Structure 1
Amino acid sequence: MEEKKVTWLELFYDLLIVAAIATVTHVLLHVEEGDIPSEYLLKFVLIFIPIWWAWVGQTMFTNRFGQDLFHQRIFLILQMFFALVMISSLSVDFDSYYKPFLLGYIGLRALISIQYFVAQRTETGDRKKAALFFGKYFLIGIFISICSVFFDSWIRYVILYLGIFADISFPLIGRKHLVKVPTNTGHLLERFGLFTIILFGETLVSTLSVIQPRQDDWHSIMFSLVSFILIISMWWQYFDNLEKKVDKTKETAGQMIIYGHLFILMSLSMIAASIRLLYLAEINYMFILLFIFGASLLYFSSTSLVFHLYRYEHQRLKIYHLSLFLGILAAFFLVNLAFTVPNIIIAGELAIFFMIYAKITT
């Protein structure tokens, strides 16, 4: 498989999208009467998915057809412009900023579709068919989402997500095209890895900025240390698997990497918000218990699934490994249900879980 390197402009683009995700994560910090209202949980998902899919669209085009050419740089710079429009429209009061947010999303998706049409002019055979397929079918998703602007209230979101769902489904429907034009697995894993490490960095910085340990404030200092151990253990597990345990020469459609990372990135944002909420201690004990353990289970499940498919066969985890991890997570959760423990203990338990997860899987 031909080696494909990540360009500096791609990394610059990643910074913008991670900034958008960091802004979305703040939606989870709105606590009312000890809980995060279901409205904000829904808004988190509603805003997160279009941002993730916009980034995935450009990443997948670059992976299969991208070259560091002048016109492709211009396309990416234009996408950064629309990404800025989208980021500027992120707000808890999402309804008021819906139209500029939609403009940013539609602009990003339209540029990706145009790039496929441009690429097919110089391609032949299966590569030409794949480029034409995505260029045409992505326009359908874009058209459906645009129609949402003519409606109000919840109907606009239904139509927006019908378009996004169609968009996300087309690669699955067109799998026969993708199999004939497989991803560059090394480049794809590197792209998701670089994006994830930027999000890890943002998570660490934003978490420590909230905790802000002061001199002789041992609670804050200890909470900072426990939070750091938790985050660095997750980092260790993810990147040691990415670097040492996966077969980067494997040729696939890449869909497990793509769709699995939606849940990895979303759960990482949820865990980051949970750590801050644990420290601020302004949230109902039962709610934060369900929220942070649910996010940790989602992260564990999605990383296990993504890496399992691409691991070297002799290094794949066994059922008893997965049973051990689930057992440890369940044991901590049940103990916390039976006995009300300090929030720092909950963070410490998860730090222990991710240390074990990292040790055994790497």
Structure 2
Amino acid sequence: MNGLRPMRPRDTTEPHRVATPLELFFDLCFVVAVSFAGSQLHHALSEAHVGLGLSGYLTCFFAIWWAWMNYTWFASAYDVDDWWYRVTTLVQMSGVLVLAAGVPRAFTEGDITLFWLGYLIMRLAMASQWLRAAAGHPEGRRTALRYAAGICGAQVAWAILLLFVPREWLLAGFVVCALIELAVPVWAESAGRTPWHAHHIAERYGLFTLIMMGENILAATIAVQEAGSERGIEPGLILLSVSALVIVFALWWIYFAPSAAELLTSNRQAIPWGYGHFLIFAAVGAVSSGVEVAVDQLTGKAHLSPVGVGYAIAVPVAVFLFMVWLLHVRPHRYGPADTAAFLGATLLVLLAPLTPEAAPVIAVVTAALVVITEVTRKSDPRRYGKRPRP
């Protein structure tokens, strides 16, 4: 690390570009917030408060994901790794921990004050990074200033929501503010594309997916361990544990089978791809909550119906499969058999809760999808690895 220096853009064709230790540390702090949100979703679903759980989880997750995503794309373009850049990033990491501390109150009491404070810390730190990029990169100055202005303007909208909007209108106000946030990159990038690195972005998204899958395994393992210590190791618990492990392994295989970097050729492809990962990440985070609800059912703690418990696992898995097909698989044009396999598997996963054992059925379906897609793609060399549409 050198002294403070002008924030110049990184080379978009830089070979062997990989995530830095600071970026990995950054991700770990965000997973803490994700685990808090997932824990609250688990408790809400177990108590049969489905609407409250889903609205709380998706709104909290949006704030977590959006702050993570903005930093990730900025760092891909302007990571100078000097002491000021590191300090500013550490401030953002502190903000996500404040946000994580506010997640339980946001869920249970509808009090978003602490949650918003953490988000504000992250976003103002991000705005300062863009101002620094505007000063150090004259060619990208207009884009950087738009980002800084858009971020600050969005924070004003959040403050108005917090201070003046009645509680019964908070969800509608949240949607409006979220749309403002989503519009900022589209508006800013229309003044000129930031120099993000396609392979670096693909790796960063993949690493965050991996970390969240690891958190899935940890949360499910702890839930099974606690249930086993209370009631002993029962056949139903063993079946659920094996099923959950197979599901996570299959989701990992499915996500990383196609290459993502070659799809990110311009903002036209990259922005929908990046935004669409909100549902992929949220689905991965919700799988562990579903498994924990299933454990609660086995121990007699869940107030949700058996079908509802099945859907607590099935819905996030189905969302994951469909979004991975839409963002990762379809652009590669692997062929109609591949598409039919993904869409058929998504439908079967959604039907699984209507069977006596939802989790094992989902495990079989996702594992079968891995086998089918691997065989069909490799059996047709004309399609396997075919370049995406321009």
Q: Is the 8 A contact 2:143 2:194 kept in 1?
A: yes
Change (3 A) 1:358 1:140: same
Partner of 2:236: 219
Q: Does 1:102 align with 2:116?
A: yes
Q: Is the 8 A contact 1:27 1:40 kept in 2?
A: yes
Partner of 1:256: 272
TM-score (norm 1): 0.87
Q: Could you give the per-residue CA deviations for residues 308-354 of structure 1, whole angstroms, max 9, x where no partner exists?
A: 3764xxxx3323322233224434654753xx51xxx3111111222
Once residues 27 and 246 of structure 1 are traced to their aligned partners in structure 2, the CA distance between those partners, rounded to angstroms, is: 32
Once residues 60 and 33 of structure 1 are traced to their aligned partners in structure 2, the CA distance between those partners, rounded to angstroms, is: 36
Aligned-residue offset at 1:189: 1.0
Q: Is the 8 A contact 1:29 1:36 kept in 2?
A: no
1:177 to 160, 169, 191: 191
Q: Could you give the per-residue CA deviations for residues 80-130 of structure 1, whole angstroms, max 9, x where no partner exists?
A: 1211211111105544642121111011111111111111111132x2222
Partner of 2:71: 58
Change (3 A) 1:75 1:361: farther
3-state secondary structure, aligned to 1:5? coil
Report the residue type matching 1:279 in the other structure. V
Structure 1 segment 114-129 matched on structure 2, within 5 A: 114-125=128-139, 127-129=140-142
Once residues 371 and 161 of structure 2 are traced to their aligned partners in structure 1, the CA distance between those partners, rounded to angstroms, is: 48
Report the residue type matching 1:219 in the other structure. G
Partner of 2:179: 165
Structure 1: gaps of 5 or more residues? none
Change (3 A) 1:6 1:207: same
Partner of 1:303: 324
Aligned-residue offset at 1:229: 1.1
Identity in percent:
21
Aligned-residue offset at 1:176: 2.7
Once residues 58 and 233 of structure 2 are traced to their aligned partners in structure 1, the CA distance between those partners, rounded to angstroms, is: 39
1:359 to 356, 371, 376: 371
Partner of 1:67: 80
Structure 2: gaps of 5 or more residues? 1-12, 375-390
Aligned-residue offset at 1:239: 2.4
Partner of 1:279: 295
Structure 1 segment 1-362 matched on structure 2, within 5 A: 1-3=13-15, 4-31=17-44, 35-91=48-104, 94=107, 95=109, 97-125=111-139, 127-151=140-164, 152-177=166-191, 180-212=193-225, 213=228, 217-241=234-258, 245-248=259-262, 250-253=264-267, 254-281=270-297, 282=302, 283-308=304-329, 311=332, 316-331=333-348, 333-334=350-351, 337=354, 340-341=355-356, 345-362=357-374
Change (3 A) 1:93 1:149: closer
Q: Is the 8 A contact 1:29 1:273 kept in 2?
A: yes
Report the residue type matching 1:223 in the other structure. L
218-227 or 64-73, larger mean C-alpha shift: 218-227
Partner of 2:9: none
Aligned-residue offset at 1:194: 1.1
TM-score (norm 2): 0.81
RMSD: 2.5
